[in-house]
């Protein structure tokens, strides 16, 4: 079984920030879960280097777009590596592999009669690299609904892609869930925007030289979104080198994106794929936007969560704490707000619930059974609820990942740990230990509590790829190379655990 997941490719016109890290961490968590299940996973991210936005930023910085792109593409790549992202590939749209394959794609679209020469007159949002209809422009007072900057009027000869020829096919694909657009509210927005859509898409610029030349007319460069969307297949070798991954990985299972770029992914991209005769991706998931302390992040407001701030957080709390916080911050798909108070609460939860359970179970097993898992003992009335929670856990986790309920995926291991802590409070192993007639009951309680700890830690690996395996190692389980099923297999009586050491140390909050 193979699994292909992508993030947007980011504009390297500046340094990465919380938003970029968020999408990439979410994709990383999903990729790690599928790898843990033993699937062959391909996880793709990268940078989107062409377009007017790069040209303008480079001019402001008195450099060239190529130099700016290289500088920041390296910053992005290193940033993701530094933050433990497990991507399998990093595509830059300035790479030869991408440019030549995009030209092949455009040639195919020309050959199938889906591209024609015409003239465009209308509005353009240069920050978003997006064409805006007359009505939308008027509704937004001729300003970008993302950046607030004035829209620009374009009037020029251009090649068009025949969106109108495929609008019904795309509508049907989304309506039938052949192409799942999630969350459902956004699917409905897309369907209503598609209904009655009657415009083709301008896909070339004659006034721009930074981009991929149109193969039939090199005086034009290709519209940056056609170039960028193609990365999802050029990176895996389409069209001429399918053995590089296309054969195994297309169609993608998930394109993870921010909500502001859903339209491109839900309309232009499916049109391109249908016109090329290729299968559609299975799911487009558009997540929400981060604000910081209730406001849009901005450097001048002093609430910007950029590279330096993220580094600082990781230095103090560790990568896993940041990952858990991001996932826990709101149901996946909703907007999110960064708050230090919430961050501290979320870190506290890791320590008080999961860390505490690990510590208690190991210490008790050391104290009462010299660190050796006993055979099952005497069942008691408290066992059933925890046994059920343990038994239900793997399928609940699988369902959360299947539907991309990532907040739930992060919380499920904590819920199990909480149930195990309650079980300890109810069964009071410290009292049982004092009563020689309760030896068999104590065996049972220790065994079940250890089992819950093992299952919770194993299920937490995708979200806590550093801390969860470290916790399992304390249990005497080396998680390296093992699948989730193997990690969930009950430990045999006689198995010896290690010593407890604190997973989430208390941190003084300034």
Residue 135 · residue 141 · CB < 8 Å: no
State the nearest-atom distance from the C-beta of 66 to ligand ME8, in Å. 17
CB of 9 or CB of 450, closer to ligand ME8 = 9
CB of 302 or CB of 436, closer to ligand ME8 = 302
Residue 280 · residue 270 · CB < 8 Å: yes
Radius of gyration of the chain (CA): 26
Rounded distance between C-alpha atoms, residue 236 and residue 250, angstroms? 8
3-state SS record for 190-209? HHHHHCCCCCCEECEECCCC
State the nearest-atom distance from the C-beta of 454 to ligand ME8, in Å. 34
Whole-number Cα distances in Å, 66 to 40, 58, 431:
34, 9, 70
State the nearest-atom distance from the C-beta of 289 to ligand ME8, in Å. 4
3-class SS of residue 454: helix
Q: Which residues bind ligand ME8 (CB under 6 A)?
A: 8-11, 19-20, 22-23, 48, 228-229, 231, 257-258, 260-261, 289-290
Q: Which residues of 194-215 are buried (b: 16+ CB within 10 A; e: fewer)?
A: beeeeebbbbbbeebebbbbbb
State the nearest-atom distance from the C-beta of 224 to ligand ME8, in Å. 8
Q: In the structure encoding, which two tokens stand for residue 186, read together? A: 């956004």
Rounded distance between C-alpha atoms, residue 413 and residue 456, angstroms? 5
Task: Give the CB-nearest residue to ligand ME8.
Answer: 19
State the nearest-atom distance from the C-beta of 72 to ligand ME8, in Å. 10
Residue 139 · residue 161 · CB < 8 Å: no
Residue 502: Cβ within 10 Å count: 11
| 155 sits in which H/E element | strand 152-161
CB of 258 or CB of 466, closer to ligand ME8 = 258
CB of 304 or CB of 415, closer to ligand ME8 = 304
CB of 336 or CB of 460, closer to ligand ME8 = 336
State the nearest-atom distance from the C-beta of 338 to ligand ME8, in Å. 10
State the nearest-atom distance from the C-beta of 287 to ligand ME8, in Å. 7
CB of 260 or CB of 387, closer to ligand ME8 = 260
CB of 8 or CB of 65, closer to ligand ME8 = 8
């Amino acid at each position: 079984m193979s699994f292909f997941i992508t993030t947007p490719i980011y504009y390297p016109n500046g340094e990465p920030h919380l938003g970029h890290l968020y999408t990439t961490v979410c994709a990383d968590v999903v990729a790690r879960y599928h790898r843990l299940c033993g699937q062959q996973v391909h996880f793709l991210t990268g940078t989107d280097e062409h377009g007017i936005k790069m040209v303008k930023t480079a001019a402001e910085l008195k450099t060239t777009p190529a130099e700016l792109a290289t500088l920041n593409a390296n910053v992005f790549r290193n940033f993701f590596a530094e933050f433990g992202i497990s991507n399998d590939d990093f595509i830059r749209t300035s790479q030869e592999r991408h440019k030549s394959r995009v030209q092949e794609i455009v040639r195919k679209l020309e050959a199938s009669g889906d591209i024609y020469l015409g003239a465009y007159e209308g509005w353009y949002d240069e920050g978003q690299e997006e064409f805006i209809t007359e009505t939308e422009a008027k509704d937004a007072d001729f300003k970008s609904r993302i950046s607030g900057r004035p829209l620009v009027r374009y009037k020029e000869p251009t090649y068009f892609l025949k969106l109108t020829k495929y609008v019904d096919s795309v509508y049907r694909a989304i309506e039938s869930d052949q192409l799942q657009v999630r969350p459902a509210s956004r699917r409905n927005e897309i369907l209503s925007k598609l209904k009655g859509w009657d415009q083709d898409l301008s896909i070339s610029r004659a006034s721009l030289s930074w981009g991929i030349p149109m193969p039939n007319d090199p005086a034009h460069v290709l519209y940056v979104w056609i170039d960028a969307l193609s990365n999802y297949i050029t990176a895996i070798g389409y069209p001429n080198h399918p053995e590089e991954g296309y054969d195994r990985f297309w169609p993608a299972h998930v394109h993870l994106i921010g909500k502001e770029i859903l339209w491109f992914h839900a309309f232009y991209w499916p049109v391109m794929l249908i016109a090329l005769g290729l299968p559609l991706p299975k799911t487009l998931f558009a997540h929400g936007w981060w604000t910081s302390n209730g406001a849009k992040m901005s450097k001048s407001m002093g609430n910007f969560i950029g590279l330096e701030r993220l580094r600082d957080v990781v230095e103090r709390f560790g990568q896993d704490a940041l990952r858990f916080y991001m996932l826990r911050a709101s149901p996946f798909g909703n907007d999110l707000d960064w708050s230090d108070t919430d961050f501290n609460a979320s870190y506290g939860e890791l320590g008080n619930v999961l860390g505490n359970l690990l510590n208690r179970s190991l210490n008790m097993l050391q104290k009462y059974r010299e660190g050796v898992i006993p055979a099952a003992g005497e069942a008691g009335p408290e066992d059933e609820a925890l046994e059920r929670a343990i038994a239900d856990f793997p399928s609940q986790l699988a369902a959360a990942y299947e539907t991309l309920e990532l907040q739930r995926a992060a919380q499920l291991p904590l819920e199990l740990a909480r149930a195990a802590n309650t079980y300890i409070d109810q069964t009071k192993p410290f009292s049982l230990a004092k009563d020689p007639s309760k030896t068999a009951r104590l065996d049972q309680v220790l065994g079940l509590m250890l089992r819950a700890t093992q299952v919770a830690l194993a299920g937490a690996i995708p979200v806590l790829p550093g801390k969860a395996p470290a916790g399992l190692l304390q249990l005497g389980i080396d998680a390296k190379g093992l699948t989730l099923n193997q990690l969930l297999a009950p430990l045999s009586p006689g198995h010896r655990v290690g010593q407890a050491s604190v997973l989430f140390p208390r941190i003084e909050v300034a």
